[in-house]
């Protein structure tokens, strides 16, 4: 009841606060926005202080971790809330209908960078905390751990948790940084993919050369690079890196059967969500298996040579590519880095000088969703949504989750976004209905955890 009262009475102020939080361009990947990252952290810490917690900023001046503790209630369990206040760059800007850092409400959605990933979702948990503490002390002990580098590899938080592992001591960890399976279908995640992100650079010449005078004898760096890249995956989608699939396990028959029961229309998915003429990948595997349970190799961008307007006849001396592999349970980022490095060296022609820089990595996550906190979140969703949660996986990654799990507390991976939220893309949004469902669900989760 108190949650419902909060939702009705604090509706306007809560959305104004969400607006203020979303306005801060806390883009963690560009140093120009260091001060904005700090500002977002400070804003959140001030807000949590105002909500009755004791908040501090830890680990960095530019990308601090926000740590906040609720007033201690003896004898009650502890819920650790993890999320991130940093966002992805908003470009290409001209594809946004309204500016990414001027949150705008249209048809019940708030449009802004970070609306769903993850500021809006973090704020729905914070509002849920406010809802359940309105008339007194919290039903459960809550600790907030909200970082500012999730999108760039979580360095500050990783260092912090290595120095102070007791911070993750809790009875449950709550992470809301993903989405429902479909509208009306809340989800618990049983696995996330890991990632191994690298930059490959090829040098074939001391300097660029005239392509007429030297074309025919001078080795072209771009050509060497694309030949290497082209050999890393076969046209049927199999990644050609020796040993890569050794640790990969097919999901159990029971898990695959459960996925078959989810509403999924390949044609609509291909046309509306992917927007392509065909789906690629390993034949004989469903799209869900390909995105949730198999590794990938993707080329993110290639630079080198001449790409400006007009024409320039040059043989490039240097070319480089940013690439990544997504990893599935039992694969390890460090192992995959070694395997990729070895393969790239083998594929390089003798005249090419190759370097491979590891940019960031994360191990995959596998979660057993049977511990008691999962009963609390299931019940909370059932009460609010009137449907059972589905257990699914995601192809995305949350790099810090393996470290959060080292304290032994079950990690509840869930979300209140919707599949069409366009995270990382232009016109990212969060449905306000979903936001308020989050307030109700997480509020009930706190109450049920407190009573458990």
Site string for Mn ion, 59-98 (x = CB under 5 A): ----------------------------------------
Nearer to Mn ion, 149 or 391 (CB): 149
**Among the candidate windows 5-13, 37-45, 375-383, 390-398, which touches ligand BES by CB under 6 A?**
390-398
- Per CB under 6 A, does 414 bind ligand BES? no
Residue tagged 């300097």 (tokens)? 207
Preceding peptide of 427 cis, ω within 30° = no
Q: How far is CA 227 from the centre of its chain?
A: 31
- Smallest gap from residue 360 Cβ to ligand BES (A): 6
Listing DSSP states for 222-278 in one string gives HHHHHHHHHTSB-TTS-B--TTTTTT--PPPHHHHHHHHTS---HHHIIIIII--SS
Site string for ligand BES, 140-179 (x = CB under 6 A): ----------xx-x-----------------------xx-
86 among known catalytic residues: yes
Which residues between 112 and 151 bind Mn ion (CB under 5 A)? 117-118
Query: 232 is in the binding site of which of ligand BES, Mn ion, none (Cβ under 5 to 8 A by kind)?
Result: none
Which residues between 242 and 271 bind ligand BES (CB under 6 A)? none
357 among known catalytic residues: no
- Per CB under 5 A, does 289 bind Mn ion? no
Are the CB atoms for 70 and 129 separated by under 8 Å? yes
| 3-class state of residue 126 by DSSP | helix
In sequence order, the β-bridge partners of residue 80 are 143, 173
- Smallest gap from residue 150 Cβ to Mn ion (A): 6
Which residues between 70 and 129 bind ligand BES (CB under 6 A)? 117-118
- Per CB under 6 A, does 396 bind ligand BES? yes
Are the CB atoms for 117 and 417 separated by under 8 Å? yes
Residue tagged 């819920």 (tokens)? 79
| 3-class state of residue 419 by DSSP | coil
Among 200, 348, 398, 418, binds ligand BES (CB under 6 A): 398
Active-site pick, 86, 151, 171, 289: 86
* Contacts (Cβ under 8 Å, ≥6 apart) of 258: 390, 391
Active-site pick, 150, 151, 428, 447: 150
Are the CB atoms for 446 and 171 separated by under 8 Å? no
Token readout for 55 is 């908040």
Catalytic amino acids? 86, 150
User: Which residue ranges make up the site for ligand BES (CB under 6 A)?
Assistant: 117-118, 150-151, 153, 177-178, 192, 195, 360, 362, 394, 396-399
């Amino acid at each position: 009841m108190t949650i419902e009262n909060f939702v009705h009475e604090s509706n306007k102020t809560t959305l104004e606060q969400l607006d203020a939080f979303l306005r801060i361009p806390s883009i963690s990947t560009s140093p120009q926005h260091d001060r904005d990252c700090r500002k977002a952290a400070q804003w959140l810490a001030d807000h949590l202080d105002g909500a009755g917690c004791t908040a501090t900023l830890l680990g960095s001046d530019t990308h601090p971790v926000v740590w906040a503790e609720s007033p201690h209630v003896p004898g009650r369990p502890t819920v650790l809330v993890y999320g991130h206040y940093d966002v992805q760059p908003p470009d290409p800007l001209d594809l946004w209908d309204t500016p990414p850092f001027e949150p705008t409400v249209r048809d019940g959605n708030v449009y802004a960078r970070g609306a769903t990933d993850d500021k809006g979702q973090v704020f729905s948990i914070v509002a849920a905390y406010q809802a359940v503490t309105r008339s007194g002390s919290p039903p459960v002990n809550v600790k907030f751990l909200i970082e500012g580098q999730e999108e760039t590899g979580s360095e500050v938080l990783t260092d912090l948790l290595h120095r102070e592992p007791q911070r993750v001591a809790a009875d449950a960890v709550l992470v809301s940084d993903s989405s429902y399976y479909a509208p009306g279908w809340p989800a618990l995640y049983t696995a996330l993919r890991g990632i191994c992100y690298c930059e490959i650079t090829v040098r074939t010449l001391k300097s660029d050369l005239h392509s007429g005078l030297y074309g025919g004898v001078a080795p072209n760096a771009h050509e060497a690079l694309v030949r290497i890249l082209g050999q890393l995956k076969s046209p049927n989608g199999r990644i050609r890196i020796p040993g890569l699939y050794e640790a990969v396990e097919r999901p159990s028959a029971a898990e695959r059967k459960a996925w078959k029961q989810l509403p999924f229309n390949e044609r609509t998915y291909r046309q509306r969500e992917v927007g392509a003429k065909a789906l690629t990948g390993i034949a004989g595997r469903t799209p869900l298996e390909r995105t949730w349970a198999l590794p990938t190799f993707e080329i993110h961008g290639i630079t080198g040579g001449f790409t400006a307007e007009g024409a320039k006849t040059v043989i490039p001396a240097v070319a480089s590519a940013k690439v990544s592999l997504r990893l599935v349970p039992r694969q390890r980022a460090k192992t995959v880095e070694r395997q990729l490095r070895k393969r790239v060296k083998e594929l390089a022609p003798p005249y090419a000088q190759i370097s491979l820089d590891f940019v960031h990595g994360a191990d995959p996550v596998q979660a057993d969703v049977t511990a008691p906190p999962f009963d609390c979140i299931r019940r909370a969703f059932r009460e609010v949504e009137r449907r059972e949660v589905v257990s699914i996986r995601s192809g995305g990654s949350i790099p810090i989750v393996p470290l959060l799990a080292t304290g032994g507390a079950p990690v509840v991976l869930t979300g209140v976004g919707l599949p069409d939220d366009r995270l990382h893309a232009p016109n990212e949004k969060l449905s306000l209905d979903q936001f308020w469902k989050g307030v109700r669900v997480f509020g009930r989760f706190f109450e049920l955890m407190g009573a458990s």
